[in-house]
A = this chain, B = another copy of it.
Amino acid sequence: MRKLASDALDQLTLGATLLGTGGGGDPFIAKLMVQQAIEDFGPIDIVDLDELDDSAQLVTVAVVGAPTVIIEKVPSGREFTDAVRALASYMGRKIDAIMPVEVGGMNTLIPLAVAAELGVPCVDADGMRRAFPQIEMTTFTLGGLTSSPMSLADEKGNRVAFETTTNLMGEKLVRGSAMMLGLANALASYPMTVAQAKTAAISGSMQYCSDVGGLLRDVQRQEENAWDRFLEFTEGRIIFEGKIIDVDRRTTTGFARGTVTIEDFADPTRTMRIEIQNELLLAIEDGRPVVTPPDLICMLDFETADPITTETIAYGQRVRILGLPCADEWKRGAWLDVVGPAAFGYDVDYVPLKG
């Protein structure tokens, strides 16, 4: 067990913004929630799965909705503990620890604030090690775990509990309700024991996020060999550098969708097109897929190396695009059905970034 320190929080927030791959809301807002929670309830315990009893009850907690809405409607905080308490009451079980469903975006940090308020530890594991737009897109689903029962809550006191026969139907129902509740709601889902989490979760994803955040901070401070160390640790590649020449954005059926086009600095005949569904999902250069899901596409400001979230993408921005390989835990069973290009409606094959 370790305590989350305030400087570690900055590093974690930067890593979460990067792993948000342009989506997952603004982790800075979530960071403020965590700081407030530490002030109100004391330091937050982070534990590995191995440190908990196999029978301990875990639950994930997250904000669901469209990042474009979440950024304008800051969560009050109450809805997250409400969602967890409602789920605990629905199941008739005590919750022993909180786990992030995705380490990437604000959902990396919200579980920390919720854990603090509930007086339980937060587990260093998750189901994505990046952000994804849909809640069935987890290694939990691949591992045969059900997202049900789930509990959705808003800040006004509305609550919905779901029990579904498939995790995809769970996603559809949660999305339908979130659309009615204003698209920035708290979801408690994937109740599981530690024993179950050990078979299906990505362990150490919070530590990975923090490490990546530290390395990116070194890049931002222009420390020696910082880019080399970053790319070695992540096994990633710089795939494009250029200027944004077109942004097409639309919020439809509960998602922030869009397409962004980037022109190479040196060669204007080279362009990269990136498709967005909350996250940056597919990078195509000259009709050829370069990075495909579940691998990560990260957009950084060319000068400052600040990660750019999709809602702040603007014409004329100078950007550097990174491709990072997804966690190895993804590559099991029917993973391409769950998070491959086809799962997002893209008619291209998966192109591995690694190996």
Chain A residues close to B by CB (< 8 Å): 90, 156-165, 169, 172-173, 175-177, 179-181
- Cα separation A191 to B175 with both chains bound (whole Å): 26
Give the chain B neighbours of A156 by CB distance below 8 A. Answer: 165
The A interface is mostly helix, strand or loop, or mixed, namely mixed
- Cα separation A163 to B177 with both chains bound (whole Å): 12
CB A341 to nearest CB in B, in angstroms, measures 24
- Are the C-beta atoms of B173 and A164 separated by less than 8 Å? no
CB A96 to nearest CB in B, in angstroms, measures 23
Give the copy number.
Answer: 2
Extra inter-chain contacts (13) besides given A90-B90, A157-B165, A161-B161, CB under 8 Å: A158-B163, A158-B169, A159-B162, A159-B164, A160-B160, A160-B161, A160-B162, A160-B163, A161-B162, A169-B181, A172-B180, A173-B180, A176-B179
- Are the C-beta atoms of A173 and B162 separated by less than 8 Å? no
- Cα separation A334 to B35 with both chains bound (whole Å): 46
Give the chain B neighbours of A165 by CB distance below 8 A. Answer: 156-158
CB A95 to nearest CB in B, in angstroms, measures 18
CB A191 to nearest CB in B, in angstroms, measures 15
- Are the C-beta atoms of A164 and B169 separated by less than 8 Å? no
Give the chain B neighbours of A179 by CB distance below 8 A. Answer: 176
- Cα separation A169 to B181 with both chains bound (whole Å): 8
Task: Give me 10 A-to-B residue pairs in the complex whose CB atoms sit less than 8 angstroms apart, sorted by A's number.
Answer: A156-B165, A158-B162, A158-B165, A160-B163, A161-B161, A161-B162, A173-B181, A176-B177, A176-B179, A177-B177
